[in-house]
């Protein structure tokens, strides 16, 4: 799965609680680029220099943490797990399914459709990390 970047309206200064430039964004472990991370009153916004990125309203964030596993992304990162089932109106993100069928088959060779597992189309996870150790 991959999240599609969308045109973002940058937040007003009054809405920004914290801002960090040169932040690498990863969606489901896939590198999306370097941009600016905004921690806002209503949610988290990340946008690249062309103002493409994503908005994560707090109502959809199921968990956030610090990830220190540098095998996941190159530097210590902010981990955010977004669960769209928590929000009636998923907003500003497209989830695109890839053709990788191996993930949907269990060890018995059965399709994952009948298994009790999380609906991955309703959730996305992000890592926000400095683009260099000096950042």
Tell me whether residue 44 is in a domain: yes
pLDDT in tens, the chain (135 residues): 345 799 999 999 999 999 999 999 999 989 999 999 999 999 999 999 999 999 999 999 999 999 999 998 989 999 999 987 755 544 444 444 434 333 334 444 444 443 334 455 688 999 999 988 765
Question: Three-state secondary structure along 56-82?
Answer: EEHHHEEEEEEECCCCCCCCCEEEEEE
Tell me whether residue 135 is in a domain: no
- The number of C-alpha atoms within 13 Å of 71 and in the hemisphere containing its C-beta is 0
| 87 close to 59: Cβ distance less than 8 angstroms | yes
Tell me whether residue 110 is in a domain: no
Tally of domains in the chain: 1
CATH of the domain at 66: 2.30.29.30
Tell me whether residue 112 is in a domain: no
Nearest to 120 by CA among 5, 28, 4: 28
- pTM comes to 0.70
Tell me whether residue 62 is in a domain: yes
| 18 close to 11: Cβ distance less than 8 angstroms | no
Tell me whether residue 105 is in a domain: no
Residue 57's domain spans which residues? 2-100+119-130
């Amino acid at each position: 799965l991959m999240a599609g970047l969308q045109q973002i309206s940058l937040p007003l200064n009054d809405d920004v609680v914290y801002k960090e430039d040169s932040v690498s964004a990863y969606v489901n472990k896939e590198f999306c680029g370097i941009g600016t991370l905004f921690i806002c009153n209503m949610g988290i916004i990340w946008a690249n220099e062309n103002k493409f990125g994503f908005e994560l309203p707090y109502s959809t964030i199921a968990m956030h943490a610090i990830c220190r596993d540098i095998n996941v992304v190159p530097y210590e990162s902010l981990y955010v797990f977004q669960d769209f089932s928590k929000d009636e109106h998923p907003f500003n993100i497209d989830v695109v399914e890839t053709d990788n069928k191996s993930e949907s088959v269990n060890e018995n060779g059965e399709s994952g459709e009948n298994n009790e597992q999380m609906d991955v189309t309703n959730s996305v996870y992000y890592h926000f990390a400095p683009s260099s150790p000096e950042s």
